Amino acid sequence: MNGFHLKNNRWYSDGVALSQIAKKAGTPCYVYSLPAFEAKYMEVDQAYRSVPHLVAYSIKTNDNLSVIHALGKLGSGTDVVSGGELFKARKAGIPGNKIIFAGVAKTDAEIAYALKENIRYFNVESIPEISAINSVAKKMGKTAPIAIRFNPNIDALTHHFISTGKKENKFGIFLGDLDEVMHTVRKSTSVHWTGVHAHIGSQMTQTGSLAKSARVVEQIVLKLRQEGFPIYDVNLGGGYGIDYNGEKPPKASQYASVVMPVIKRLKAGLILELGRFISGNSGVLLTRVVFVKKSGKKTFYIVDAGMGDLIRPALYEAYHRISRAEGPQKPVQTADVVGPICESTDFFAKNRRLPEAKRGDLMVIFSAGAYGSVMGSTYNSRPLSPEVVTRGSRFAVARRRQTREDLVRLEKFVL
């Protein structure tokens, strides 16, 4: 069986008991099911099989090399937002022509690096960026392929911190600036404009906003083609939602049903920058109870993972299911699950009905495959946790735990 499942009161990743992994790798520890990543990638790929498309997996959600490599073997490209992510994508074997470079603040050095790697195109987020890419490309004697990201001012109906397509968001170019964009591209002889991009937010759990955005993009593409720009690639987000807490997000095929008519009418190629949908429920965080603390009427399960491992609850008050890795699963105790870090925001659950747990018990924090380890920090000088991958009955440490020596490796005594 793929992914995470419960058998005889024991949680497994594929065919491996999570308790077995914790014994070997210690805690806290991320566990990723490679077949789960692959299945979600295939679900998207299949949903769009009747149009030319590229799934550019957003490695901002999970940039583990073994994960990127496994998806790359299935044909996945990557969406990167920094020179570092570009480096990791290339390291994992993703060819330059399947890499999309997004992000609002690309430096000249990053632009030059991407041009050297012959990426598929830049997702351009502002008018000054068109000029910057043009001048770097000119100096290198190259022509830079670009897509322009427009801000359609559409509400993705998601958490306001992960909305990206409203006019107050920093992403994309204001639709009213279309003439200026065309003017700037026309005089930029070292860029080649072939794509239009819109992304309205992450964790969308309905298709209505995406349908609206697709219609806006269709009008932009038609206008640009009339103006003589050979627009082919249409890059249409946001990110498809996943089940964290009983949400019932649409399937990939349901999102596809609102996108495909537009792509077919335009005879365009589709780019999908998806992260969470592929990675979110393909990973968990394992952590051990250090103490059970009673404080008046409150019970705290104090665990050895903290916001340095998984910051989503602190950052967005995000909900993650939590249970015991083995033993009775019935929720019988109301508790806060908190970490070891000296911040009151260092929590994973508040006033949650949970199974009874005692010192030393192994807990599983679910849906931690996206925006988990990638947002890790060493705050409180806590080494980064390892990442373990599973496939069938096998597991392996894909990224080792940081050591205390690692924590001081970049420093020296000065002055």
The least distance separating ligand PLP from the CB of residue 77, rounded to whole angstroms, comes to 12
Burial class (CB in 10 A: 0-12, 13-18, 19+), 190: middle
Residue selected from 2, 13, 27, 61 as contacting ligand PLP according to rule CB under 6 A: 61
Catalytic-role residue among 49, 141, 187, 342? 342
Token output for 103: 């992000």
CA 357 distance to own-chain centroid: 31
Is 342 a catalytic site residue?
yes
> Which residue, among 302, 239, 296, has the nearest Cα to 58 in the 3D structure?
239
Residue corresponding to tokens 């083609």: 225
Closer residue to ligand PLP, CB minimum distance, 300 or 316: 316
Residue selected from 53, 106, 120, 276 as contacting ligand PLP according to rule CB under 6 A: 276
The least distance separating ligand PLP from the CB of residue 386, rounded to whole angstroms, comes to 23
* Choices 111-119, 231-239, 252-260, 287-295 (CB under 6 A): range interacting with ligand PLP: 231-239
Contact criterion met (CB below 8 Å) for 357 and 337: no
From residue 251, alpha-carbon distances to 23, 247, 255, 257, 266 in Å are 36, 12, 7, 10, 24
- Can you list the positions of beta strands (E) in 8-139? 10-13, 16-17, 29-33, 53-58, 77-80, 99-101, 121-124
106 binds ligand PLP per the rule CB under 6 A = no
DSSP type of residue 184: H
Give the footprint of ligand PLP on residues 125-154 (CB under 6 A).
none
101 binds ligand PLP per the rule CB under 6 A = no
Q: Taking CB under 6 A as the rule, which mask of x and - marks residues 341-370 in contact with ligand PLP?
A: -----------------------------x
Question: Which one-letter amino acid corresponds to residue 197?
Answer: H
Closer residue to ligand PLP, CB minimum distance, 17 or 211: 211
Burial track 157-169 (b if 16+ CB lie within 10 A, e otherwise): ebeeebbbbbeeb
The least distance separating ligand PLP from the CB of residue 134, rounded to whole angstroms, comes to 22
Residue selected from 62, 64, 134, 202 as contacting ligand PLP according to rule CB under 6 A: 202
The least distance separating ligand PLP from the CB of residue 414, rounded to whole angstroms, comes to 39
Residue selected from 13, 33, 164, 184 as contacting ligand PLP according to rule CB under 6 A: 164
41 binds ligand PLP per the rule CB under 6 A = no
DSSP type of residue 290: E
Token output for 9: 């009161």
> Which residue, among 305, 311, 321, has the nearest Cα to 362 in the 3D structure?
305
Residue closest to ligand PLP, measured at CB: 239
Task: Give me the active site residues, please.
Answer: 342
Q: Which residues bind ligand PLP (CB under 6 A)?
A: 58, 61, 79, 102, 162, 164, 199, 202-203, 237-239, 273-277, 370
